[in-house]
Amino acid sequence: MGGANRKVARAGISIVAVIVVFVLVWESYKLIWTALGWENPVRPDDRTMPHTWDIFLALFRPAQRNGPPFILVELRAALMTLREAFVGFLIGGTIGFGLGVLFVRSTVSERAFMPYVVASQTVPIIAIAPMVVVWGGRINLPQWLSVSLIAAYLTFFPVAINTLRGLRSPAPTSMELMRSYASSPGDVLWKLQVPAAMPYIFTALKVSAAASVIGAIVGELPAGLRGGLGRDLLQFSQQFTAAPEKLFAAVMIAGLAGIAFVGLITALEHRWIGANRRLTT
Amino acid sequence: MEARSLGKVFGIGDAQTEALRDIDLEIANGDFVSLIGPSGCGKSTLLRLIGDLVSPTTGTLVVNGKEPGQARLDRDYGIVFQSATLLDWRNVQKNVELPLEIMDFPDAERPTRAREMLDLVQLGGFADHYPWQLSGGMQQRVAIARALAFRPALLLMDEPFGALDEMTREAMQQEVLRVWGETGTSVVFVTHSIPEAVFLSTRVVVMTPRPGRISEEIAVDLPPDRDLDTREDPKYFELVIEVREALRRGESGSGGQ
């Protein structure tokens, strides 16, 4: 399909264009601020703002003396973090969907539980994460699964809220139509409400995909899990003054991991939901 | 179908509105009855009472020889709303199959029946189309096919052509008459168009608002096979005028104006 190819090409061009503009802004800032001797808001020196090409080159230097290149080590770390994030995403997504269904079926349960669901998201993840790790350790949960549970904690909320909204989206006449057929509650749910909710659910899944990666990265820290992005990001931020480009490079890879995950969900959305039904995001 | 001193009050306490009062109405098998009246006369509410989509406050109602709730559970009626309410994610064929799936028709029978119904409303060639690819009139024809797919004894139509342009509307009226003739279903048809009520019905029930009441019933003794010529028949014009005057009498008689 020529149209589709052109679309992909256009998307590729705009992504490259953004990178080019970003590099230009970054480097001109350094140039101008250095020339004029300005130091605010950010110092333009190579420690605070390494050259973009230094960040890029850092990807291909060995991570440790005589070790494999940085990019390989970090991609492997990203893969591990993504796996934890994905499992958490599945757990959180399932719980969120279940809560949405429960709330749409029973207003009483919505009134009873919704305040706690909302409150759960005001508790910072860095307070929850150590608790999950300690409790997970008590019942001999594998460490990575504790990390997944932390990711799930960030995932379930958007899915629950949007599922509920989507399940309530059918017009009153559609509900009357189902009633006229003497439909079972299951038929109303699976033949009308869930299909109607899919665009809403996919919007939530995209938010959740990004959130689950953050949850996994943060969760790796109290879990003391090695080999993932969390630990590396912490380490590089401690070494920031010595080797700032490493932190920037690792952040880039963490960002790419999130983009890849969200991209996967978007691809599924495009496969399953017709263009006319997709919510714009 | 039979209603005896049927009444419906919405809301409670001070917020009460009386939608219907003392409705007495009989509809025989094979009748085509239009409910006509200004907005707020409770014609849609009466239709929803028959369909057990709302419950009566007072009086008794018998649909197809039973309580409306039982008639609904027995799938005795099909309903068509002003908006087609087709499911966007199903193609035309699958939309018509929806009630058949819910009513557990055998897998093998569903596509055949859906095809039959689509042929009936002359949309046989559009089975694979999606609702958004169809015009408003075509969507409404799919809705009619869907309502008739399980062969209900009664067809309820709530201003089904209210959102269509005049030309499409007349074509749809012809269509509905043909379908009615071929299926022998009884029809209760809510409308606020006088020509539409006269053209379609065997009987026109005129209603008045605040509270909704039946003011007059007018038998339409036009020949059963009606077409474009019927619309130019003097008898047709007489009946249109008769319904219009009945509506006007109702308007002044209700005292609310």
Span A165-193, pLDDT tens digits? 999 999 999 999 999 999 999 999 999 99
The angle subtended at Cα B117 by Cα B112 and Cα B120, nearest 5°, is 130
Residue recorded with tokens 């080797």: A243
Cα angle A15, A18, A21 (rounded to 5 degrees) comes to 150
Q: Which residues of A touch B48 (CB under 8 A)?
A: 176
Chain A residues within an 8 Å CB radius of B85: 171, 173-174, 177
Which whole-number Å values give the CA distances from B230 to A73, B34, B39, B72, B176, in the listed order? 84, 18, 28, 35, 15
Alpha carbon of A10: minimum distance to chain B alpha carbons (Å)? 28
- Residue of chain B nearest A179, judged by CA positions: B53
- The angle, 0 to 180 degrees and rounded to 10, between the axes of the packed helices B92-102 and B136-148 is 30
The residue among B63, B65, B61, B72 whose CA lies nearest residue B24 is B61
| Confidence label for B142 from pLDDT (cuts 50, 70 and 90) | very high
Strands (E), B27-145: 32-36, 58-62, 77-80
Instruction: Give yes or no for a contact between B188 and B71, defined as CB atoms under 8 angstroms apart.
Output: no
Residue B152 host element (H or E) = none
Q: Which residues pair with A159 in a beta bridge?
A: none
Which token pair is B70?
A: 């039982």
For residue A138, pLDDT beyond 50:
yes
Give pLDDT tens digits for A245-279: 889 999 999 999 999 999 999 999 999 887 778 87
Average pLDDT, chain A: 92
pLDDT single digits (tens) A18-54 = 999 999 999 999 999 999 999 889 889 888 899 999 9
Return the pLDDT at A281. 52
CA-based torsion, A196, A198, A201, A206: positive or negative? negative
Residues contacting B195, CB < 8 A, separation 6+? B231, B240
Tokens, residue B166: 């005049």
Chain B residues closer than 8 Å to A279 by CB = none
Residue closest to A232 by CA, chosen among A212, A253, A209: A253
CA distances from A47 to A36, A127, A239 (A): 18, 32, 11
Q: Which residues of chain A have a CB within 8 Å of the CB of B80?
A: none
Indicate the pLDDT class of residue A243, thresholds 50, 70 and 90: confident
Q: What count of CB pairs under 8 Å joins A to B? A: 56
CB-based contact A173 B81, cutoff 8 Å = yes
Q: In what order do the strands lie in the sheet with B203-208?
A: B77-80, B154-158, B186-191, B32-36, B203-208, B213-219
Residue B254 has pLDDT above 60, yes or no: no
Mutation site for A-interface testing, chosen from B45, B48, B53 by largest number of A Cβ within 10 Å: B53
Q: B19-32 burial, b for 16+ CB within 10 Å, e for fewer?
A: bbbebebebeeebb
**What pLDDT is recorded for position B40?**
85
* H/E element, B189: strand B186-191
Q: Residue B256 — very low, low, confident or very high, per pLDDT cuts 50/70/90?
A: very low
Do B79 and A177 lie within an 8 Å CB cutoff?
Answer: yes
Cβ atoms of residues A146 and A177 within 8 Å: no
Which residues of A have a CB under 8 Å from any CB of B? 171, 173-174, 176-184, 187, 191-192, 195-196, 198, 273-274, 276-277
Q: Which residue in A262, A248, A261, A215 sits closest to A74, CA to CA? A: A248
Which residues in chain A are closer than 8 Å to B103, comparing Cβ atoms? 181
Average of per-residue pLDDT across B70-97: 96
Strand partners, B32: B187
Would you tell me how many other CB atoms lie within 10 Å of the CB of residue B151? 12
SS3 at position B140: helix
Q: Which two tokens stand for residue B95?
A: 């939309």
- DSSP secondary structure string for all residues of B2-49: EEEEEEEEESSGGG-EEEEEEEEEE--TT-EEEEE-STTSSHHHHHHH
Q: Of the candidates B52, B74, B83, which has its C-beta nearest A173's C-beta? A: B83
Q: How far apart are CA B2 and CA B23, in angstroms?
A: 10
- d(CA A71, CA A51) in angstroms, rounded, equals 18
Measure in Å the smallest separation between the Cα of A159 and chain B Cα atoms.
Answer: 21
Q: What are the residues of chain B with a beta carbon less than 8 Å away from any beta carbon of chain A?
A: 48, 51-53, 72-75, 77-79, 81, 83, 85, 87-89, 98-99, 101-103, 130, 132
- Asked if B70 contacts B226 with a C-beta cutoff of 8 angstroms, the reply is no
Q: Between residues A15 and A103, which one has the greater pLDDT? A: A103
| Max Cα distance, chain B (Å) | 58
Q: Report pLDDT for A2.
A: 62
Give the bridge partners for A69, in sequence order: A62
Convert the pLDDT of each residue in A107-135 to its tens digit.
Answer: 999 999 999 999 999 998 889 999 999 99
What is the C-alpha separation between B235 and B185, in angstroms, rounded?
Answer: 26
Burial A86-100 (b: 16+ CB within 10 A, else e): bbbbebbbebbbebb
* Residues of chain B found within 8 Å of residue A183, distances taken between Cβ atoms: 102
Mean pLDDT, chain B, integer: 92
Q: What angle do CA B252, B255, B257 make, to 5 degrees?
A: 70
Q: Give the model's pLDDT for residue A1.
A: 52
Predicted local distance difference test score (pLDDT) of residue B62: 94
What does the pLDDT average to over A140-164?
A: 95
Beta strands in A19-178 (DSSP E): none
The residue length of chain A stands at 281
- The pLDDT value recorded for residue B257 is 39
In chain B, residues with a C-beta closer than 8 Å to the C-beta of A181 are: 75, 98-99, 102-103
Return the structure tokens found at A43. Answer: 């110092």
**Enclosing H/E stretch for A83:** helix A70-105
Best of A173, A180, A276 to substitute, by most chain B Cβ atoms within 10 angstroms, is: A180
> CB–CB of B79 and A182 under 8 A?
no
Within 8 A of B52 by CB-CB distance, chain A residues are 179
Is B73's CB within 8 Å of A174's CB? no
Residues B194-208: tens digit of each pLDDT: 999 999 999 999 999
Residues B38 and B191: beta-carbon distance below 8 Å:
no
Among candidates A191, A273, A274 on the partner chain, residue whose Cβ is nearest the Cβ of B98 = A191
- Indicate the residue type of A66: N
**Structural tokens at position B124:** 């046989």
d(CA B8, CA B20) in angstroms, rounded, equals 5
CB contact under 8 A, A187 and B102: yes
Pick among A173, A175, A176, A177 to test the B interface (most B CBs inside 10 A): A177
Residue B154 pairs in a beta bridge with B77, B186
| pLDDT at residue number B104 | 96
